Amino acid sequence: MGNHQWKIDGKTVSPASGAQIIWEDNQFFKLTYNGESFLGEITEEQLERGYLKVKINHREFTIQKEGPLDELIASLGLDKEKIKKLHQLRSPMPGRIIGSNVKIGDEINLGDELLTLEAMKMENVLKSDGIGRVKTIHFSLQEVVDKNAILITFE
């Protein structure tokens, strides 16, 4: 394990000697430590960020690996997640606008619900995939829009 440190649920720990992991496949494993066995599963992985979320005996843990390069990367600001700056929201499909959660001047964050589009008898909530401020709203409620129609412009 070398010079690496691990963060488990935000707490820095050193690897324990005597722990053994046996992989069943790329998701499930068996962890043995001090004679006790635990069943485990990877529930989320972001390997480029050294991040795992695992479930061991029905309890979830977040795990992050820290190596010697991580401090340098953080000091340069290269560890910050890039967030897209919004320019326009276009309709992903033809449909009818049946709900709106925005008005001009609203600050929009990643994941905010912007509007509801009814298409083929299904309600589709369109969410933000970035950040921005609503500049112009190009639709009215109950309006039928075509695919790729500009719905919202951001500044």
pLDDT score, position 100 = 96
Q: Which residue has the tokens 């070398």?
A: 2
Domain 88-154 has CATH 2.40.50.100: yes
* Tens digit of each residue's pLDDT (9 = 90 or more) over 86-110: 999 999 999 999 999 999 999 999 9
Maximal C-alpha separation, the chain: 66
Q: Where are the domains of the chain?
A: 5-75, 88-154
pLDDT score, position 137 = 97
Q: Which residue has the tokens 């609203």?
A: 106
Which residues of the chain fall short of a pLDDT of 50? 1-2
pLDDT score, position 2 = 47
State how far the Cα of 103 lies from the Cα of 137, in Å rounded to an integer: 7
pLDDT score, position 1 = 38
Per-residue DSSP letter, 49: G
Its pTM stands at 0.52
Q: Which residue has the tokens 């401090």?
A: 71
137 contacts 104 by C-beta, under 8 angstroms: yes
